[in-house]
Amino acid sequence: MERKYLKLRYTDLLGVLRTLTVKTPRDLSGFRAYFDGSSVFGIASIEDGDLALEPVPETLAAVPWDPSSYSAISRIVTPGGERYSRDPRYVAEKVEEYLAGMGLKAVMGAEVEFFIFKSVKVHVSPVAQHLEILSEESPWNGGIAPPAKTAYHVSEASDAVEPVRKEIVEAVESQGYAVSKEHHEVAAGGQVEITSGPYPPSRLGDFVQTLKLTAKKVASLRGYTAVFLPKPLPTDNGSGMHVHISLWSGERNIFGDRELSDEARHFIAGLIEHGRSLSAIVSPTVNSYKRLVPGYEAPTILAWGPRNRSVAIRVPPPNNYGMRIEYRPPDPTANPYLALAALIMAGLDGIRKKLESPGPITVNAYKIPERELRMNGIKSLPGTLAEALECLESDHEYLKPVFSEELIQLYIDIKREEYRRVAYHPSPAEFSYYAALL
């Protein structure tokens, strides 16, 4: 190996990508680096914190911005080398093993949306709050720019962040990952989308984590700030992480070639059945629920429809590989390993129980009156993280084949504490709206 250092990357329970740098070993086979798992969200307690990292050989890559270093996604193991149950990547690997036991494999892709701002300034204290977002292509900074919700696929003349986006893509690809497309997204202010190639759950999780790190680093080196917050701007579209899913038995797509199969419809029904509890995992932050509101191309109801972007589950037209489904509620703050595994387990529960999916929604769901939704038994997504966590607490048996009860309860506890720390903080918007009136 030519480079001196090896950056071992691993993910904690909340989805934070962490790095331990070691001297590059002569041989990755059997190599382990030890660390304190008790200093990481949801990994270990202080009395039992000794853990180790084992690099996944197929993820070894040269770090594009550091000529002295390689990097590798790593598995978390015990000091004796056994897989560690709280390792999020292990959950994604277990769902692949679970599928293999059924003679199946999952093929998944992710459309990862985020903003590339010129700068973001934040200050929060008990008596003062300040947020200022600057963008080279935003109307609020006084320049000539596309209005809110009009920037989808704008060309180079208006796409100020295209050079940064392309450099991000090239850096991701240089680390061994496939990017199928990239473009400017709907929101003004520098919203972009980078879409993965097809992967199994664990490798798609690797892609998402590598993309987020790469985007933040490349943007920073170019004097920009990459932000994966689902809803950074109140009056423009937020950023999602739409997940495409198909299941295969050998060379056969069991979701169908040109029309949805029965298995696909049962899978959709499973996602609808468990969609409210899934929200705690796929939309896992306080800010996630500021995105999931009507009118901004984010779903608010658990329903499906062909080509319909106003519902939780869109069924795109078939491509050369047949049918697939797109689950639209997730956002890029999700721990991708947990989110992808949870989606598969919810859908498989629908197949196992032969759940019947409701009829498709073929109209703009935002325009359906609330009373009509209730009369037809159509459920809404949770309105807050707290509500989503309550749903997960009462509905998680479907996750059990690959998620341990301990991991689920630990996740709920950590997220509840996060909710209390963030949601209870008064905002300037509340003062602006209420203080003088009430």
- Please list the active-site residues: 36, 111, 113, 185, 193, 242, 309, 326, 328
Residues 408, 392 contacting (CB under 8 angstroms): yes
Residues 25, 33 contacting (CB under 8 angstroms): no
Could you please report the per-residue DSSP string of 409-436?
A: HHHHHHHHHHHHHHHTS--HHHHHHHTT
Which residue's entry shows tokens 């392309």? 166
The pair of structure tokens assigned to 196 is: 């993965």
Residues 391, 335 contacting (CB under 8 angstroms): no
Closest by Cα among 385, 429, 14, 422 to 233: 429
Spatial distance between the Cα atoms of 85 and 44, rounded to a whole number of angstroms: 10
DSSP annotation of 117 reads E
Which residue's entry shows tokens 């307690």? 45
Spatial distance between the Cα atoms of 81 and 294, rounded to a whole number of angstroms: 48
Element (H, E) at 124: strand 119-124
Helices (H), 303-401: 336-353, 370-375, 385-394
Strands (E), 84-211: 105-117, 119-124, 129-134, 179-184, 191-196
Residues 338, 88 contacting (CB under 8 angstroms): yes
User: If DSSP states are collapsed to H, E and C, what string results for 311-325?
Assistant: CCEEECCCECCECCE
Count other C-beta atoms under 10 Å from residue 324's C-beta: 24
Spatial distance between the Cα atoms of 173 and 243, rounded to a whole number of angstroms: 20
Element (H, E) at 326: strand 325-327
